[in-house]
Amino acid sequence: MTATILVGAQWGDEGKGRVADWLASESDVVARFAGGDNAGHTVYVGDRVYKLHLIPSGILHEHVTCVLGNGMVVNPVNLVREIEELERSGVRVSPERLVISTRAHVITPAHIALDMASEKARGADAIGTTLRGIGPAYLDKTGRQGLRAGDMADVESFADALCERIEKANATLVEHGLEPLSPREAAENYIEAARRLSPFLRDTSMYLNARLREGARVLCEGAQGTMLDIDHGDYPFVTSSSPTSGGALTGLGFGPRYVERVVGVAKCFSTRVGAGPMPTELEGPLADRLRGTGENFWDEFGTTTGRPRRCGWLDAVMLRYAAQVNGFTEMVITKLDVLSGFDELKIAVAYELDGERLENPPEMLAALRRVRPLYETLPGWQEAIGGVRRWADLPRAAQAYLERIETLVGVPVTTVSVGPERDQLVFRS
């Protein structure tokens, strides 16, 4: 058993990128299994900050091969731009180091325009998407009319198919009072990107199964988080794919017998971007303190959109649910250093709905909007912990906070991040 699945346990933005970077150091292959460039993983190495949207953070390790799996939707132009940015930073990106599934779907200019049109039409009920064309691309995939990355191997045919889909989308855009796209102009950059990416295309399911049979260590890297899963999240305020552990298998094309670990990543407080219920959301000075000013790259502002994130106390009800849906074998808690200086901390241990105590979130949105979090208050700590590297050296109140999380969730906390740098990790022996 040589596969590890890395999953966000909240609404995304849990710090999976830096955890993936750590786990990649002991992996041979790192494979993305869902989503597109709506994801944003920030990794801090030395004095350099890498912001990755499509390429797995394993690319920062020379020995790792990175895979964009069949469950993803890929914007070819943005992928080429990301490759070029990495290469300018001295990171080698070649077909030997990056493999793109021929079955991954292509995000077209039409998808991006339709995403904007859809959000505009929703008005006050907008989902709060990243406007990257993710939803419309997945709609075309399930509607069996999408373009797949493998189509880029024949550039001329790909160009014709792309223009045809743009022309079809124009009717919808005009209907929404938006300017239609020029098919040839919109397709121009895509045609050049297709030429550039053609050598990277491969049957990644066959590749991964072969590597797993050889005993290679494969890290499956997710995007977004459990509560944004299309089936298991706060529908309809969800993404269009399955960022849970089950999605890793369908999004990469291998069976569960290879899976050894399912690692859940959770921030030590709650954040969310976009619309949708968030029972422990705070406003005012407490929320601002958790969020930060935006001056630092680790403050709570979206990597992809730059939008300020909604912030609140840790929601153990949601974490318990995420552990159940994913089958976590362990948890990594991130950003513990942010909580230094609080006199007291709160954790939502249950909800109340119409006088009834709930240990798990209600399945319907209308009920979830009405729940009231039931908090447990724990003592905080004043010490700065960025220099701590041993569990025993954490303040006793910090240890108690982490121990309470694992008791409430029923999953051991094995690793804690205490700062943004690669080595600011505390491993529990």
Query: DSSP string covering 327-387, please?
Result: T-SEEEEE-GGGGTT-SEEEEEEEEEETTEEESS--SSHHHHTT-EEEEEEEE---S--TT
User: What is the Cα–Cα distance from 343 to 339, expressed in whole angstroms?
Assistant: 9
Question: 228 and 295 in contact (C-beta within 8 Å)?
Answer: no
Burial 45-83, CB ≥16 within 10 A → b, else e = eeeeebebbbbbbbbbbeebbbbbbbbbbbbbbbbbbbb
Residues contacting 172, CB < 8 A, separation 6+: 114, 117
Angle between helices 396-409 and 316-326 (to 10 degrees): 50
User: What is the Cα–Cα distance from 320 to 408, expressed in whole angstroms?
Assistant: 7
User: What is the Cα–Cα distance from 54 to 78, expressed in whole angstroms?
Assistant: 8
User: What is the Cα–Cα distance from 84 to 43, expressed in whole angstroms?
Assistant: 17
Q: What letter represents residue 334's amino acid? A: T
User: What is the Cα–Cα distance from 143 to 404, expressed in whole angstroms?
Assistant: 45
Q: What amino acid positions are annotated as catalytic residues?
A: 13, 41
